[in-house]
Amino acid sequence: MKQSRWQQATYRHPYLFALLLLVVAFTANLLLQPNLLEPTTLNSNMRVFLPLILVAIGQAIVMIGGGIDISVGSIVSVVNALLATQIGLSGDLGTAGVVMGAALFVGMGAGALNGLFVAYLRLQPIITTFATSFIYAGLALFILPNPGGGVPSRLTAFYRETIILWLPLAFYIIALILVAWGIVRQTRYGRYLYAVGGKADAAYETGVPVQAVQFSTYVISGLMAALGGIAMTLLTGSGNAQVGDPLTLSSITAAVIGGTPLTGGAGGIAGPIIGAVILGLIRNIISFAGVATWWQTFVNAAIIVLALAMPGIIRLVRRRNG
């Protein structure tokens, strides 16, 4: 099979396109917002990006395993509702710790339900997680019917304002996850994940526990969504049962822009992190570029569609010319 140079380059470096976009978006942002690299600005940006980054990482892992998880946004909402109602604005730190721990288990449980249906009952991932997303969204509303509640300001302050050695807290969290991922990649499980997403039949023939691996990706995705939900709650400090809704599309977009193909078996988590940052930067640019308020959503969405279409367009043009 002959491959073009672009194909090979994007194959070997799935983040190439994302990096290119990142450079463009970053430069544009820097021009519009010259103090972008100052610690406080960096911090105020990163703390906003972090929830999506966390959710996108989970989404990417499911996609590498050959699936997709449309319920992540709803899981974020459930966790937010849980935290806002169970910790409360005047809750003590002990309670907060327990509730956050419980929230992680709730996220994993939700992911396990997805995994059960997809991996073991062999249902289609898209439609299954779409169905569960409705169930989880209902659950979030059930816990918190009206926006309200919240977490103590001491907690939000810790999340919002922690800067260690000029770098915001978010950097350390991301670094920690990257290290963890680096280790996972070195294990057999890491290999199995890519094998299952790449060609499940061949992996099965070779003796890879395909279903267990698929199941695990949804549990991980649930866990990451729960972490994203905690970050989101600490960021906003308040409860809103629909806060996670936009994260579903954004997490998929971030993963796809970050070079994770929906066909599975390729990609990583650095790409989706970059993808999530790009999405955030685009929002920044739009608001700093003086785009009229009413146009912002549209421009944002149109740029995303273009970014998603770009690899396809490049391929099409290349085929025409070659």
Partner 1 sequence: MLAVRNVAKRYGAVQALTDAHLEIDAGETLALIGANGSGKSTLSKVINGVVAPDGGQLLLDGRSVRFESPHAAKDAGISTVFQELSLIPQMTVAENIWLTREPLRRGFLVNHRIERQRTEALLSLFAGTFRADLTPDTPVAALLPDERQIVEILKAISVNPRLLILDEATASLDSRQVQRLFDLIGQWKTQGIAIIFISHRMTEIEQIADRYSVLRNGQTVGEGTMKNAAAGDLVALMAPETSGGAIDRRRLSPDDLATRRVVLQIDDLRTSVLRGVSMQVHEGELLGIGGLKGQVQRDLLLAIFGGVPYNGRILLDNQPVHFTHPRQAMKQGVALVPGDRAGEGLLSIRSILENLLIPSWRDYGFPLRMKRARQHADAIATRLDLKMAGLDAPVSALSGGNAQKVVIGKWLLRNPRILLLDDPTKGIDIATKAEFYRLLTRLCDEGTTVILYSSDDEELIGLSDRLLVMHDGRISSELAGASLTTANLVAASLGVARRETP
Partner 2 sequence: MKRLTISPPLAAVLLAIALFLLSGFLPNGFGGNLDVATAQAINIVRLSVFLGIIAAGQTLVIISGGEGIDLSTGAVVTLTAILTYTIVNGRNEQVLPALLAVLVVGGLIGLINGAGVAFLSISPLVMTLSMAGVVSGSILVITQGNVSGAVAPVMTQLIARPVLLGIPGAILIWAVFAALMWLLLERTAFGKHLFAIGTNRTTARLSGINVTGMIIGTYALSGMLAGLGGFLVVGNTGVVHIRIGDPFLFPSIAAVAVGGTLLTGGKGSYFGTMAGALVLTLITSLLTTMQMQESVRRMVLGATLLTMIALYGRQRGFRQ
Closest to partner 1 by CB, 36 or 184 = 184
| Smallest gap from residue 165 Cβ to partner 2 (A) | 38
Q: By CB under 8 A, is residue 207 in contact with partner 1?
A: yes
Are 291 and 82 in contact, with CB atoms under 8 Å apart? no
Is the torsion defined by CA of 290, 294, 297, 303 positive or negative?
negative
Q: By CB under 8 A, is residue 15 in contact with partner 1?
A: no
Query: Residue numbers of the site for partner 2 (CB under 8 A)?
Result: 68, 70, 117, 121-124, 126-128, 130-142, 145, 200-201, 204, 210-211, 241, 249, 252-253, 256, 262, 294-302, 304-305, 308-309, 312-313, 315-316
Name the DSSP letter for residue 178.
H
| Smallest gap from residue 99 Cβ to partner 1 (A) | 32
Name the DSSP letter for residue 203.
H
Stretch in the footprint of partner 1 (CB under 8 A) among 6-14, 148-156, 222-230, 275-283: 6-14
For strands 148-150 and 163-164, give the pairing.
unpaired
Count Cβ neighbours within 10 Å for each residue of 71-90 and write b for 16 or more, e otherwise.
Answer: bbbbbbbbbbbbbbbbbbee
| Smallest gap from residue 220 Cβ to partner 1 (A) | 17
Stretch in the footprint of partner 1 (CB under 8 A) among 3-11, 74-82, 108-116, 291-299: 3-11
Closest to partner 1 by CB, 92 or 205 = 205
Which residues are CB-neighbours of 262 under 8 A, at least 6 positions away?
A: 63, 68, 256
Alpha-carbon gap, residue 57 to 63, rounded angstroms: 10
Name the DSSP letter for residue 4.
-
Q: By CB under 8 A, is residue 195 in contact with partner 1?
A: yes
What track of x and - describes contact with partner 1 for positions 251 through 270 (by CB under 8 A)?
A: --------------xx----
